[in-house]
Amino acid sequence: MLFNSLTFIVFFVVILGLHYLPIAWRIKKTNLLIASYLFYAAWSPPFVILLWISTFVDWHVANKIYLQKTQSKRRLLLFISIAVNLGMLGYFKYGEFLMQNFQILMSNFGIDYQAPDWNIILPVGISFYTFQTMAYSLDVYLKRAKPTDSFLDFSLFVTFFPQLVAGPIVRPTQLIPQFKIPRVASKSQLTWGLGLITLGLFNKIVVADGLLSQAAETAFEATKILHPMDAWLGTLAFSGQIFCDFAGYTTTAIGIALCLGFSLPDNFRFPYASIGFSDFWRRWHISLSSWLRDYLYIPLGGNRKGPLRIYANLMTTMLLGGLWHGAAWTFVVWGGLHGLYLAIERILVSRLRHQQIWSRWLPRLFLGILTYFLINITWVFFRAADFSTAIRMLDAMLTFDFSGEKVLPMIDVIIVTAVISLMLLIHCFMRNRQLHDIVKAIPGWFVGLIWGLALWFIIITQGESNAFIYFQF
Amino acid sequence: MKAEKIYQRPVPNVKFSGLIAVIVVIVLMVAWEMYVRSQDVTPSYRNSNGLWAEQRRKINKGAGDGWVFTGSSRVLFNLQLDAWQALDNRRPLQLALEGTSPVSVLEGLAEDADFTGSVIVGVAPGLFFSGFEYRKGALKQHKNETPSQWLGQRISMWFEPYFAFYTYDYALSTILHRQDLPLREGVGHRLDVRKLANMGRDRNYRLWDKVYLDEEYNALAKQIWAQNWKPFAEQPEARQEGILKGRAKQLDRAIKAAKAIKDKGANVVFVQMPYEGHYAVSEPDIAPRDLTWDILINESGALGLHFLDHKQMQGYELPEWSHMTGEEADRFTQNFYHLVQSELARHKQVGEQP
């Protein structure tokens, strides 16, 4: 079920109504669990079985790991959890990719191997919930947390519908304790939750789908070498689209959870105002970057095993992070570029950080612009359907050959320029601020006016219930 | 689970702001609805993929032995369900999709064991023989509709007959993209097709009054149909080759599908609806009759009704060259119904002769 659909509005009203009934907390949690399964089944009912497998396996494995004293047996149990979760992920998400690459590899050895047709539908959000549930077994294995004693709480943690299919990827220690105590949102939480839902849907329906998607699509799906301006505008449009789409989803998810009385962590903090790439990854998809840091980078050795290992660990983490997004080499290159940026930044910071110049505003502005520029280079690989498209786009963006073809109509030039400029200004202004602080500081009538306008724009945009981009991951 | 430190989201008090927001959105929506209605728009069902999928499913729910209309916009506008039902005592299914070749729909009917009735297939030459499918999302939704999409369609239809603004032509992005701005050098401006009709609950489609009453709007509609047209001979060679290959492929698909339908005892009637003006030049240019229509009819063995061959299909007013007004479409449907019945009977007799 998509947040930006009429079905969800009805679903949410019913769930809210049930949640505010004077009934036992256990029954309310059961309602939420059933609602979460219905939410997922609304795409494809059979795939609920995958959620049940993840829930069943990780519940039993984590309990056994906790009770087991022998390290080798604990390791074996953890392996079972990882094998089941990554096995499902691998089969549904990477099966076709692996078969195709195997076919290419074989043909290099002169073996004519034909990969079978892989007509497997990707279960929505599988990368998100497998990571979330794996974190539970990993936390218990790493002795960072004890297992919960409630199967209901654990099941709800795995499937909690606001963040089930596109995050934020919540840690067990952040969410399971919230299920222990009866929760109903206060009036303030409910209204702020509705405000966040409006903001999230505005980002998705109006900005990402209504204003920016068309320009990005036109540029990336053109078959000729583009004029540099069109290539840049298409890429900038995608930078705005992917942010508003994904941040829009998680802001909506946070708002929905808040309406039910639960607090989910932030997943974005105005990332296009980042100065450098470690700053970017502290602001972009925070729940994934911190997951990769805690469950991959640090277990690989993190910063503890000498400079070479640090760079190898960084690169491994980012390459796998790229592959997490999609089963294609373009995503691996996207991750690899980020790994490279982080490595170069690390070298430069260790050499230049003591120079006073970097604390002045102009050099910081330059670094911010440079960061955004380099991030846009990575978005080309993220958005392009294949390497030839990516190279065609980069060729137009970086060689400044003005004989390329113009494809964007004037209206898209105006929209992209205006929306991206405004977005960057907002990100810069909000870089060190929090939304709730700003809302507190400005007059209530003005907030209401903006809120009402946002709602109006959502309604008149008449979104087509387009899926969120991150659902495919 | 050990609770380390449960995160509690900071919450500003926005109750008053929420109240203001509700007032603002109500005022703006009332104003917007009034504005849209002032443009002569009246509420109507949306021509959505979900509605098409709903009608298509009726074939599997008992309506498979009746009449089915498919084709592109000409069938959608010109064949009126009420007028047909008055003569046939049974309501046909309207499965035509504007801007879309019906060949895939025809193939779907051929494969569907529940379809045993009769199908009228509109052949708009430029579309039919190109295979272009502007509305392929409708077929996709019929095939893969999720429970959420199914329910969303039902909910949407609660509102559609009451709100004029709830029409694709007045969506924000559509409005922005039709603004008359200076053109960028080398970038053509392709105007999107404007609102042309109102749709009923079961996809009965009637031309919007404004299209023939408002001269400016009528001229705009014609301008849109004729935009960017280039005769076949002036197309680049590669494009010409593509058109010819596409034509052969679509002919092959359509002939196979029609034969498969006929093999299971069902009727297939191909029809070329009347056209004039720009289309009188462009349609024969892109798909000459002897190289397309005649082959289709001869090789499929299906009944073919071309408006140039039958007086009953001539003499109708076509405000923007191919779509009839509601009243004209009623008159056309009545005449066409009788023509189909008589021609079908004659066609069967001829087919049965040794």
Whether B352 has a pLDDT exceeding 80, the answer reads no
From the list B153, B9, B36, B128, the residue with the least C-alpha distance to A7 is: B153
- State how far the Cα of B94 lies from the Cα of B56, in Å rounded to an integer: 9
Task: Compute the half-sphere exposure of residue A210: CA atoms within 13 Å on the CB side of its CA.
Answer: 24
Residue B85 has a CB neighbour count (10 Å cut-off) of 16
Residues of A in contact with B185 (CB under 8 A): 406
Q: Which residue spans within chain B are E strands per DSSP? A: 67-70, 93-94, 118-122, 197-199, 205-207, 267-272, 303-306
Q: Which of the two residues, B9 and A464, has the higher pLDDT score?
A: B9
The angle formed by the CA atoms of residues A95, A99 and A103, to the nearest 5 degrees, is: 170
CB contact (8 A) between residue A439 and residue B24: no
Closest CA to B119 of B248, B293, B308, B260: B260
Whether residue B6 and residue A41 make contact (CB cut-off 8 A), yes or no, is no
Residues of A within 8 A of B184 (CB-CB) are: 406, 408-410, 413
Domain borders along chain A are 21-169+176-183, 205-472
Residue of A19, A227, A285, A325 with catalytic role: A325
Is the torsion defined by CA of A17, A21, A27, A28 positive or negative? positive
Nearest CA distance, A335 vs chain B (angstrom)? 30
Pairwise CB contact (< 8 Å): A407 & B18:
no
Amino acid at A412: D
Q: Each residue of B293-329: pLDDT tens digit?
A: 999 999 999 999 999 999 999 999 999 999 999 999 9
Q: Identify which of A2, A177, A449 has the shortest CB distance to residue B1.
A: A177
What is the average pLDDT across B5-10? 84
Residue of chain B whose Cα is closest to the Cα of A139? B1
B197-199 and B205-207 as β-strands: parallel, antiparallel, unpaired? antiparallel
Q: What angle do CA B236, B240, B241 make, to 5 degrees?
A: 120
Length of chain A: 473
Residue A225 DSSP one-character state = P
- Distance (Å, rounded) from C-alpha B269 to C-alpha B275? 18
Query: How much is the ipTM here?
Result: 0.88
Asked if the model's pLDDT at residue B174 lies above 60, the reply is yes
**How many residues are listed for chain B in this entry?**
354
For residues A166 and A467, is the Cβ–Cβ distance under 8 A? Answer: no
Sign of the CA dihedral B111, B113, B114, B117? positive
- Residues 6+ positions from A164 with CB-CB distance below 8 Å: A36, A39, A40, A125, A128, A129
The predicted structure's pLDDT at residue A93: 84
For A145, which DSSP code? S
CA B256 to chain centre: 23
Q: Tokens 């990516």: give the residue.
A: A390
| CB-nearest partner of B176 from A8, A42, A415 | A415
Give the closest of B6, B147, B182 to A178, CB-based.
B6
**Residue A212 CB partners (closer than 8 Å, separation 6+):** A237, A238, A240, A241, A244, A415, A416, A419
Which residue of chain A is at minimal alpha-carbon distance from B19? A448
Taking the C-alpha atoms of residue B319 and residue B212, their distance in angstroms, rounded to an integer, is 6
Distance CA A243, CA A236 (A): 11
- What is the least distance, in Å, from the CA of B209 to any CA of chain A? 24
Q: What is the DSSP string of A196-211?
A: HHHHHHIIIIIIIIII
* pLDDT the model gives residue A471: 58
Tell me the domain boundaries of chain B: 33-173+194-352
Across chain B, mean pLDDT equals 93
Tokens of A52: 């049940």
Beta-bridge partners for B67: B118
- B151 and A2 in contact by Cβ < 8 A? no
Confidence band (pLDDT; 50, 70, 90) for B3? very low
Preferred mutation among A213, A455, A471 to probe B, highest tally of B CBs within 10 A: A455
Cα gap B250→B130, rounded to integer Å: 7
CA–CA separation, A203 vs A197, rounded Å?
10
The first and second tokens of residue A449, run together, are 């006016």
Contact A264 B179 (CB under 8 A): no
Pair of tokens at residue A459: 């309604």
Q: What is the pLDDT of residue A472?
A: 58
CB A125 within 8 A of CB A83: no
Q: Quick one: how far is CA A249 from the chain centroid?
A: 9
Between A25-41 and A6-19, two packed helices, what is the crossing angle to 10 degrees? 170
Percentage of the residues of chain B whose pLDDT score is greater than 70: 97
| B12 contacts on A by Cβ (under 8 Å) | 188, 192, 436-437, 439-440
- Phi and psi dihedrals of A175, rounded to 5? -110, -45
SS3 sequence, B44-58? CECCCHHHHHHHHHH
Q: Give the bridge partners for B304, in sequence order.
A: B270
Amino acid at the residue A436: H
How far, CA to CA in Å, does A369 sit from each of A212, A247, A365, A424, B112?
21, 21, 6, 10, 58
CA distance B161 to B307: 35
Contact between residue B45 and residue B157 where contact means Cβ atoms under 8 Å apart:
yes
Look at residue A473 in the predicted model and tell me its pLDDT: 56
Per-position b or e across A199-233, b if 16+ CB within 10 A of its CB = bbbbbbbbbbbbbbbbbbebbbebeebbbbbbbbb
Q: Which of A178, A250, A451 to mutate to test the interface with B (most CBs of B within 10 A)?
A: A451
Q: Which amino acid is at A242?
A: I
Q: Verify whether residue A338 is a known catalytic residue.
A: no
Q: What are phi and psi of A150, to 5 degrees?
A: -115, 115
pLDDT along chain A (473 residues), means of 10: 89 95 95 95 90 93 93 93 92 84 85 76 85 92 91 95 89 92 92 97 95 95 92 97 95 96 95 95 94 91 86 93 90 95 91 77 91 97 94 92 91 97 96 95 96 96 67 57
Rounded CA-CA distance B342/B335 in Å is 11
Half-sphere exposure of B33 (CA within 13 A, CB side): 13
User: Does residue B147 have a cis bond before it (omega within 30 degrees)?
Assistant: no
CATH topology classification for B33-173+194-352: Rossmann fold (3.40.50)
Cβ-based neighbour number of residue B227 at 10 Å: 12
Beta-strand ranges (E) seen in B135-226 are 197-199, 205-207
| Dist CA A72 CA B34 (whole Å) | 72
Largest CA distance in chain A: 72
How far is A453 from A125, CA to CA, in rounded Å? 31
Coil vs helix vs strand at B100: strand
Cα separations in angstroms, A287 against A171, A215, A250, A340, A467: 9, 29, 11, 21, 21
Q: What is the rounded CA–CA span in Å between residue A388 and residue A404?
A: 16
Helix (H, G, I), strand (E, B) or coil at A49: helix
In angstroms, the CA A34 to CA A151 distance is: 14
Query: Which of B7, B20, B23 lies at the smallest CB-CB distance from A263?
Result: B7
| Nearest residue of chain A to residue B22 (CA atoms) | A452
